[in-house]
Amino acid sequence: MSQEHVNLAPVQLGPIAVPTPVILSPMAGVTNWPFRVLCEEYGPDGLYVAEMVTARALVARNPKAFRLCRFAPSERVRSLQLYGVDPVIMERATRMVVDGGMADHIDLNFGCPVPKVTRRGGGSALPWKLDLFSELLRRVVAVCQPAGIPVTAKIRVGLDADHTTFLEAGRIAQEEGCAAVALHARTTAEYYGGHSDWERIGQLTQELSIPVFGNGDIWSAEDAEEMVRQTGCAGVEIGRGCQGRPWLFRDIANAFAGSSERVEPTLGQVGQIVARHARMLVEFYDGDEQMAVHDIRKHVAWYLKGFPVGGFTRRAFMECESLEDLGAQIALLPQDEPYPESVAAKPRGRVRYAKKVHLPQGWLDSRQTTHEEREALFGDDPMDASY
């Protein structure tokens, strides 16, 4: 099957040129600088977004939040994602980032479907409240714009099929001065289940004059091309597809450059990438080797996906406590084992539906927040506890 080559035009986000708008989607616990460095080394001059940082934790100068804000010297654009519900706290966190010269681009999280977040009106629940959404964007953009820092918003389709928010949210983001919008084309209720509805990405692309980045279910370079072909989106944002596969960014860059060349590392080569990823994680964790080796476990499960590696070996990796243990396991892998092409482009990571959408009491009654609602929302943020 030979499809026509799909072109991806450069995108300008404020002063930042994105020559090939292929974006690493922010993923908590995954897209810290060691993983971003790997993706960017393979990938084009795109955007590689850090995992979300809670505005409150930043304002409270929580050291773990600051760790998430670190970038490697090699990173071309420092993209930070902020999460928060209270526009005033978000403004203060943004002020810290801007005054501290901590980032070149700020992405805002309105896509998180996790109950502890949506129950507090955060993440994907927030765009339902139009006044709150607008105010939050306005305050953040007002701090960023004079400093030449573009702001983007990452949204979902809505809460569920009967409560979609993406068209209005996209319009508001554009009006409030966002440089682009990324749409994960699922509702909160869909969580990570089924397939994202790319038609919605096409709809939003039609609706807005700012760039729309399409997100959801890009597992291969061909998927990335197909999303652009189907929707006309200005860029593609990749989440789970690159877990344990940072070289997917090379495949995608190749595809958009008209090349059918794909990266297919042997198991030995994958082992070397795991070892390097782990060494960088040690640096990320300020020399705490055990934390790094514990963190790499989930990545190892993704890196080994599809390779004929038995349960005994996989368990042995999960029991590693040091770089030495990890190196010993890597050395035992059959080095010449070829890349398992058949499973590489299949879904990986989270794939389930939500049991129920959790929202604050009475959330759906109105598209505006009441004074009482704001009082209740801006109290303690449970996300602080996650650090």
Ligand X SMILES: Cc1cc2nc3c(=O)[nH]c(=O)nc-3n(C[C@H](O)[C@H](O)[C@H](O)COP(=O)(O)O)c2cc1C
> Residues with Cβ < 8 Å from 145, sequence gap 6 or more?
151, 177
The answer to whether 350 contacts ligand X (rule: CB under 6 A) is yes
Q: State the binding string over 50-79 for ligand X (x if CB under 6 A, else -).
A: -xx---------------------------
Q: State the binding string over 112-151 for ligand X (x if CB under 6 A, else -).
A: x---------------------------------------
> Residues with Cβ < 8 Å from 22, sequence gap 6 or more?
8, 43, 44, 46, 47, 224, 235, 236, 238, 249, 252, 253, 256
Q: Which of 70, 73, 80, 14 is nearest to 47 (CA)?
A: 80
Q: Which of 250, 157, 145, 235 is nearest to 197 (CA)?
A: 157
User: Is residue 109 within 8 Å of residue 82, measured between CB atoms?
Assistant: yes
Q: Which of 108, 34, 44 is nearest to 76 (CA)?
A: 44
Closest separation between CB of residue 39 and ligand X, Å? 13
Longest dimension (CA), the chain: 64
User: Is residue 185 within 8 Å of residue 201, measured between CB atoms?
Assistant: yes
The answer to whether 173 contacts ligand X (rule: CB under 6 A) is no
The answer to whether 309 contacts ligand X (rule: CB under 6 A) is no
The answer to whether 239 contacts ligand X (rule: CB under 6 A) is yes
The answer to whether 165 contacts ligand X (rule: CB under 6 A) is no
The answer to whether 262 contacts ligand X (rule: CB under 6 A) is no
**Residue selected from 142, 171, 349, 374 as contacting ligand X according to rule CB under 6 A:** 349
Nearest residue (beta carbon) to ligand X: 239
User: Is residue 107 within 8 Å of residue 49, measured between CB atoms?
Assistant: yes
Closest separation between CB of residue 34 and ligand X, Å? 16
Closest separation between CB of residue 186 and ligand X, Å? 7
Q: Which of 279, 299, 297 is nearest to 288 (CA)?
A: 279
242 is catalytic: no
Q: State the binding string over 4-43 for ligand X (x if CB under 6 A, else -).
A: ---------------------xxxxxx-------------
Closest separation between CB of residue 24 and ligand X, Å? 9
Residues annotated as part of the active site: 112
List contacts with ligand X (CB under 6 A): 25-30, 51-52, 81, 109, 111-112, 154, 184, 215-218, 238-241, 349-350
